[in-house]
Chain A
Amino acid sequence: MASLRLPVLKPKEQQFAAADVRTVPQHGLVRLAIIVASVLALLVDGTASAIVNAGLPYVQGITTATPDQASWIITCFNAPYYATILVSPWLYAFLGRKPLLLIGLIGFAFVSILLSLTSSYSLLLVLRFFQGLFLGAVYVPAAILLFTSLPLAALTLAIPGFALVSLGAATMGSIIGGYLSENFSGYLIYLPGAATTLISAALVYFMAPNLDKPQPHLKHDVLGYFLSLLSFGAMWYLANEGERRNWFDDPSIYVAVVVLLIAFPLLLAWELYITRYPHINFRLFQRFRNLAVGGSINFFLGMAGYSVSLFILYLQTIIAATETLAGAMILLRLAAYVVGIAIAFLLVSRKILGLRTVIIIAAIGTSISFFIYAQTMTSTAEAASFIAISLVFGFFFSMLSQPVPSLVIGGLPLEQLPAGLSIYKVTSPIGLIVATAVFQTLYDHRTAIHAADLAGFVNRKSLEISSFLEGGGSQHGLSALVLQEAQNFALRDSMMVLGVLILVVIPLIFLANIAPRPPAQNK
């Protein structure tokens, strides 16, 4: 009987799709229209996932999904979304940027409209899958279209501008989703994205030049795509359901872990050594050290991004702020992002400070901000007491975030820009996935520990407790207060852990190769 032997290929035996990133000068309104179209596409890409996450309870209500079913609404979107992002550099080479972007935008808009009409849970899952699949095709061509449409004078600002759009979109998504579902209807959460993508698609269709030659001869890598779909699906399922199902108390968690442990290593092996025509160029990490370093930093930034969820949870559960007020607090960060990104860019580009120094200062500033957040998060605090710290945090966090895309994608040769963009896009959410799983677990454990500690102080001999009960307070009310205080302490603990975690970027940045360039020779 012949044994099954997989061919192990050397890198030179593999063929990667080479993207054609060309540009031609555009003028006036045409250029403006293309830039607007690509920024709109990037904004939809950055907000779509968070909008639905924020409106999930309302979507769950519409489709009468049980809490056990709810996380599939997220997983069914995220798995094809991130899998397609990783494949989009290949799709870019296969189809060209304009056709790919149009397919992604129009497909996303169409599916979003259908989603706003459906109340069937199973149909919703199917549509969410296609919504993620189409949106995943948008990010890379939209970013390339943006970079290649900027005027010569603005090219230097391409990456800081891109960082601002990416960071801003990620922050705005939960605010928009919360506001729409709270004030209108769960059905509505899909429509702003659909309308925006249609506008963007129209602008792209009529204004953007079709510069790339499609390469229809490129070979498909269906198995690679399927494995990345399984990997991301398992990751998101574990992040959303792990702690809720008390981890290994539930058989579905075992299944997800087994899927992840098989699919992800197999994906790496398949793309690196087995297939002759890989969709994903993992070898870039080896060839470009800064891509690996920047990707790792982006992973930790993604983890730090979980602070948004923690802070919103604090505002809503501990001090009972409305979603609109919580959104306003997060918007304050956004205002500071503009300043932080501009200052980080000026410091580095004007050679006032080195890239490492900026990242170290920003990491320390962000870490201190997390600790101040933790100290300010008391059960009696007013929302207004977070204004200053939100601004300070936004400033340092954006200062920390600005150099990262430069490090990940700025240093790549132009032909590798699509691949670099897809890696940049995916590393931060993987950090968020890990943070979601870790911090949900940490939060629950710390809540239990603090509740047990606090319960030790709650007895009738205590003057405050007896006066609370004599004043008409019930035992049930008292236990709710204890639990709330314990939750508050747990949130503060989580913020402090994030404050320590973000410092990991400091040793990481020392691994980057940031030697100055020799003086340019005029041609």
Chain B
Amino acid sequence: MFFKKILIAVDDTPPSQYAVDVGLAIAREDGSPVVFAVALDPTLTVTDCMFASIRELAEQLASEIIDRAMKQAAADGVTATSVTIFEDPVDGIIDLAKRERAGLIAMGTHGRIPIAGFVRSVADEVLRKTNTPLCVIRRPRRGKVYHRILVPVVDDQLSREGAAYAVDVARSFGSTLLFSTIPNGSHTLTPEGLLNLMKDYAGEHGVKAEGLVLKRQGAISGTIAMCARSEECDAIIMASHARDGLPRLIEGSVAETTIRSSDIPVVVVRR
């Protein structure tokens, strides 16, 4: 049991159903229990005189969503519990993951670019704040998860930590790792040297690994997503600085853009 417990954030959107599918598939293979969490708008609890009926409606909807997920978990033979929280979804999910000591948060995303005050991406916000590994799913699951995992790396400490996490996952799930890098000339190791280092590390831990130097085509995230598709990978594991505020504006976030362009689950780990 690698993850100990998986927290699956659910709501009434299609990507949430994809998250349930992927989360349960991982849980079944890992043997870990899952906890389904629905976050309801805390505004509904401001005062009974304004929102009692609407809160009841929201609870009814939450209960329908959870019932459906619990039935699916039972059919998959996965032990599941559920929680309904009246909190902002970002803080609520992060706090719950801590409380439940979850080893992984699985959640769906529409992949929309957030616009301050208008369009919100809960997945992006959770990614920036949580220390729990986050598995974000944008498209329906196809086949297995964690059978062949793409691990994009660069020559820095963060990537090494991400690679180490990927090796741990692969050892647990019997997966093959595909390390890939895009040459940018700013690091001491050559791309081939970096990939060999990663493969050796994986080999030392009994994990089968391959290496692939990618030629950048447009955005880095697009290149990673394209590689995942052409190499028939079923998950991407990558590390993120989880930058926020000004640094994020200047440097951007490859993890966030990869989530938005990938058709397969993206697992993001941060330091």
B89, closest chain A residue (CB)? A153
A26, A152, A153, A412 pick with most chain B CB within 10 angstroms: A152
B13 touches A151 (CB 8 A): yes
- Interface assignment of A43: CB less than 8 Å from any CB of chain B: no
A520 touches B45 (CB 8 A): yes
- Interface assignment of B42: CB less than 8 Å from any CB of chain A: yes
Query: Which residues 43-57 of B have a CB within 8 angstroms of A?
Result: 43-54, 56-57
A403, closest chain B residue (CB)? B50
B11, B47, B51, B62 pick with most chain A CB within 10 angstroms: B47
Bound together, the chains give a CA A272 to CA B27 distance in angstroms of 58
For A158, the chain B residues whose CB sits under 8 A away are 54, 57
Bound together, the chains give a CA A264 to CA B75 distance in angstroms of 59
- Interface assignment of B1: CB less than 8 Å from any CB of chain A: no
A414 touches B83 (CB 8 A): no
For B45, the chain A residues whose CB sits under 8 A away are 517, 519-520
- Interface assignment of A516: CB less than 8 Å from any CB of chain B: yes
- Interface assignment of B253: CB less than 8 Å from any CB of chain A: no
Instruction: Give B93-114 as 1s and 0s: 1 = Cβ < 8 Å from A's Cβ atoms.
Output: 0000000000000000000000
Bound together, the chains give a CA A310 to CA B136 distance in angstroms of 58
- Interface assignment of B60: CB less than 8 Å from any CB of chain A: yes
For B12, the chain A residues whose CB sits under 8 A away are 25-27, 151-152
- Interface assignment of B61: CB less than 8 Å from any CB of chain A: yes
- Interface assignment of A71: CB less than 8 Å from any CB of chain B: no
Interface size class of B (residues with CB under 8 A): 20 to 34
Query: B57's contact among A148, A349, A515, by CB below 8 Å, is which?
Result: A148
Bound together, the chains give a CA A513 to CA B44 distance in angstroms of 17
A23 touches B64 (CB 8 A): yes
Query: B53's contact among A152, A403, A409, by CB below 8 Å, is which?
Result: A409
A147 touches B52 (CB 8 A): no
For A99, the chain B residues whose CB sits under 8 A away are none
- Interface assignment of B231: CB less than 8 Å from any CB of chain A: no
Bound together, the chains give a CA A161 to CA B86 distance in angstroms of 22
Bound together, the chains give a CA A21 to CA B53 distance in angstroms of 10
B54 touches A156 (CB 8 A): yes
B61 touches A413 (CB 8 A): no
B62 touches A152 (CB 8 A): yes
Query: A514's contact among B41, B44, B47, by CB below 8 Å, is which?
Result: B47
- Interface assignment of B65: CB less than 8 Å from any CB of chain A: yes
In the complex where A24-B64, A156-B43, A156-B44 touch, is A413 in contact with B49 (Cβ < 8 A)? no
A28 touches B53 (CB 8 A): no
Q: Shortest distance in angstroms between A186's beta carbon and chain B's nearest beta carbon?
A: 41
Query: A414's contact among B43, B49, B53, B62, by CB below 8 Å, is which?
Result: B53
- Interface assignment of A523: CB less than 8 Å from any CB of chain B: yes
- Interface assignment of B58: CB less than 8 Å from any CB of chain A: yes
For A516, the chain B residues whose CB sits under 8 A away are 46-47
For B56, the chain A residues whose CB sits under 8 A away are 413-414
A411 touches B58 (CB 8 A): no
Bound together, the chains give a CA A23 to CA B55 distance in angstroms of 13
Query: Which residues 273-321 of A have a CB within 8 angstroms of B?
Result: 290
Instruction: Give A87-130 as 1s and 0s: 1 = Cβ < 8 Å from B's Cβ atoms.
Output: 00000000000000000000000000000000000000000000
Bound together, the chains give a CA A152 to CA B63 distance in angstroms of 11
- Interface assignment of B214: CB less than 8 Å from any CB of chain A: no
Bound together, the chains give a CA A350 to CA B86 distance in angstroms of 14
B43 touches A517 (CB 8 A): no
Query: B47's contact among A355, A414, A420, by CB below 8 Å, is which?
Result: A355
Query: A407's contact among B49, B83, B87, by CB below 8 Å, is which?
Result: B49
Bound together, the chains give a CA A155 to CA B44 distance in angstroms of 9
Bound together, the chains give a CA A355 to CA B41 distance in angstroms of 19
For A412, the chain B residues whose CB sits under 8 A away are 52-53
Query: A147's contact among B13, B38, B54, by CB below 8 Å, is which?
Result: B54
B83 touches A155 (CB 8 A): no
A355 touches B53 (CB 8 A): no
Q: Chain A: how many interface residues by the 8 Å CB criterion?
A: 45
Bound together, the chains give a CA A355 to CA B46 distance in angstroms of 11
For B83, the chain A residues whose CB sits under 8 A away are 522-523
For B61, the chain A residues whose CB sits under 8 A away are 23, 25, 152, 155
Query: A410's contact among B40, B42, B51, by CB below 8 Å, is which?
Result: B51
For B57, the chain A residues whose CB sits under 8 A away are 21, 23, 147-148, 155, 158, 414
Instruction: Give B129-153 as 1s and 0s: 1 = Cβ < 8 Å from A's Cβ atoms.
Output: 0000000000000000000000000
B41, closest chain A residue (CB)? A156
A349 touches B86 (CB 8 A): no
In the complex where A27-B14, A414-B53 touch, is A348 in contact with B60 (Cβ < 8 A)? no
Q: Shortest distance in angstroms between B45's beta carbon and chain A's nearest beta carbon?
A: 4
Q: Shortest distance in angstroms between A219's beta carbon and chain B's nearest beta carbon?
A: 26
B122, closest chain A residue (CB)? A153
- Interface assignment of B85: CB less than 8 Å from any CB of chain A: yes
For B86, the chain A residues whose CB sits under 8 A away are 520, 522
Bound together, the chains give a CA A349 to CA B60 distance in angstroms of 21
Bound together, the chains give a CA A416 to CA B14 distance in angstroms of 31
For A26, the chain B residues whose CB sits under 8 A away are 12
Bound together, the chains give a CA A147 to CA B54 distance in angstroms of 8
A156, A158, A516 pick with most chain B CB within 10 angstroms: A156
Q: Shortest distance in angstroms between B17's beta carbon and chain A's nearest beta carbon?
A: 9
In the complex where A147-B57, A520-B42 touch, is A410 in contact with B50 (Cβ < 8 A)? yes
B46 touches A351 (CB 8 A): yes
For B42, the chain A residues whose CB sits under 8 A away are 520
Given A23-B60, A23-B61, 19 extra CB contacts under 8 A: A25-B61, A27-B14, A147-B54, A151-B11, A155-B61, A159-B54, A355-B49, A403-B50, A406-B50, A410-B49, A410-B53, A412-B52, A413-B53, A414-B60, A512-B49, A513-B49, A516-B47, A517-B48, A520-B86
Q: 9 nearest interchain CB pairs?
A: A25-B12, A520-B86, A406-B50, A410-B50, A414-B56, A411-B49, A520-B45, A349-B43, A156-B41
**A residues with CB within 8 A of B:** 21-28, 147-148, 151-153, 155-156, 158-159, 290, 348-351, 355, 403, 406-407, 409-414, 416-417, 420, 512-517, 519-520, 522-523
Task: Name 22 A/B residue pairs within 8 A (Cβ), A-sorted.
Answer: A21-B57, A23-B57, A27-B13, A147-B57, A151-B13, A152-B62, A155-B44, A155-B58, A156-B43, A290-B49, A351-B46, A355-B49, A406-B49, A410-B49, A411-B49, A411-B50, A414-B60, A417-B53, A513-B49, A514-B49, A515-B47, A517-B46
